[in-house]
C-alpha cells in the first residue's frame, strides 16, 4: 500500500529562493568582515607554524616500532599486525632466536619489518592488536619522501622514529 505525502505549500519568496540567497550572502559577508578586521585567521603558514601543540589526544599518525628501557626490541614477530592490516602495508619476516641466547624462550624476533607508508591508511588496527605494545602510532602528519623506496620504512627506520616506551613487556618477563 502506497502512502501519499502532501507537499508543503511554498510562498512566492520561497519559490524564488530569494530569502535563502540573502541568508547565504549575509553569512559570507560576515566572514569577510571578520577576516578583514583580523579577528579570524584562515591560513596557517605551514613550515613555520605546525599543529603539534593542538593535535587531539585521539590523533592517529604514522606507525612505528618502539624499544623498551634497556634498548631491546619489543616485537615478537607474531605477525598479528601484518594479518590485520587492511591495505597489507606491513611485511614481517620472522627469524628464530638462537638457543644460546638468554631470551631464547621468546622463540621469534623480526628479521625484517617493513611498513609501506604509501599504502598505510593510519587506521590504528596494528597498534590495537599488538600483544607486546611494540607498535605505536606517533603524532606526526608530515611524512614525506621523494621516491617510493623512501616511503617504505624498514626496521631500523621504524625504531629510529619510534624511540623508547616504558612499561611492562611480556616478552622480557622472566616469570612467563
Tell me, rounded to whole angstroms, the distance of Cα 15 from its chain centroid: 47
Rounded distance between C-alpha atoms, residue 55 and residue 160, angstroms: 22
Q: Look at residue 96 and tell me whether its pLDDT is greater than 80.
A: yes
Asked whether residue 28 falls in the same domain as residue 66, the answer is: no
Rounded to 10 degrees, the C-alpha dihedral 115/120/125/128 comes to 50
Enter the DSSP assignment of 54.
G
Asked whether residue 22 falls in the same domain as residue 73, the answer is: no
pLDDT of residue 171: 52
Asked whether residue 122 falls in the same domain as residue 146, the answer is: yes
Rounded distance between C-alpha atoms, residue 28 and residue 8, angstroms: 29
Write the DSSP string, 11-43: PHHHHHTHHHHHHHHHHHHHHHHHHHTT-----
The Cα diameter of the chain in Å comes to: 89
Confidence of residue 163 (pLDDT cuts 50, 70, 90): confident
Structural domain including 167 reads: 55-172
Strands 152-153 and 108-116: antiparallel
Tell me, yes or no, whether 17 lies in a domain. Answer: yes
Task: For residues 84-99, give the mean pLDDT.
Answer: 92
Asked whether residue 66 falls in the same domain as residue 37, the answer is: no
Tell me, yes or no, whether 50 lies in a domain. Answer: no
Rounded distance between C-alpha atoms, residue 107 and residue 176, angstroms: 13
Number of domains in the chain: 2
More confident residue, 156 or 52: 156
Q: Look at residue 170 and tell me whether its pLDDT is greater than 70.
A: no
pLDDT of residue 80: 94
- End-to-end distance of the chain based on CA atoms, in angstroms? 67
Task: For residues 154-161, give the mean pLDDT.
Answer: 93
Task: For residues 83-102, give the mean pLDDT.
Answer: 90
Q: What is the CATH number of the domain that holds 60?
A: 3.30.70.3270
Question: Could you tell me which of 138, 88, 146, 92 has the C-alpha nearest to residue 114?
Answer: 92
Q: Look at residue 175 and tell me whether its pLDDT is greater than 70.
A: no
Tell me, yes or no, whether 132 lies in a domain. Answer: yes
Amino acid at each position: 500500500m502506497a502512502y501519499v505525502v502532501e507537499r508543503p505549500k511554498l510562498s512566492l519568496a520561497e519559490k524564488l529562493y530569494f530569502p535563502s540567497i540573502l541568508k547565504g550572502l549575509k553569512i559570507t559577508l560576515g566572514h569577510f568582515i571578520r577576516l578583514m578586521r583580523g579577528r579570524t585567521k584562515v591560513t596557517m603558514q605551514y613550515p613555520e607554524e605546525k599543529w603539534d601543540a593542538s593535535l587531539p589526544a585521539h590523533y592517529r599518525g604514522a606507525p612505528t616500532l618502539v624499544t623498551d628501557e634497556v634498548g631491546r626490541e619489543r616485537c615478537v614477530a607474531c605477525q598479528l599486525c601484518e594479518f590485520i592490516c587492511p591495505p597489507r602495508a606491513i611485511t614481517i619476516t620472522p627469524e628464530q632466536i638462537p638457543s644460546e641466547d638468554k631470551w631464547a624462550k621468546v622463540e621469534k624476533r623480526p628479521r625484517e619489518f617493513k611498513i609501506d607508508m604509501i599504502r598505510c591508511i593510519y587506521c590504528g588496527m596494528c597498534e590495537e592488536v599488538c600483544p607486546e605494545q611494540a607498535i605505536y602510532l606517533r603524532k606526526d602528519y608530515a611524512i614525506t619522501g621523494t621516491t617510493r623506496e623512501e616511503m617504505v620504512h624498514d626496521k631500523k627506520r621504524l625504531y629510529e622514529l619510534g624511540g623508547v616506551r616504558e612499561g611492562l613487556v611480556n616478552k622480557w618477563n622472566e616469570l612467563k
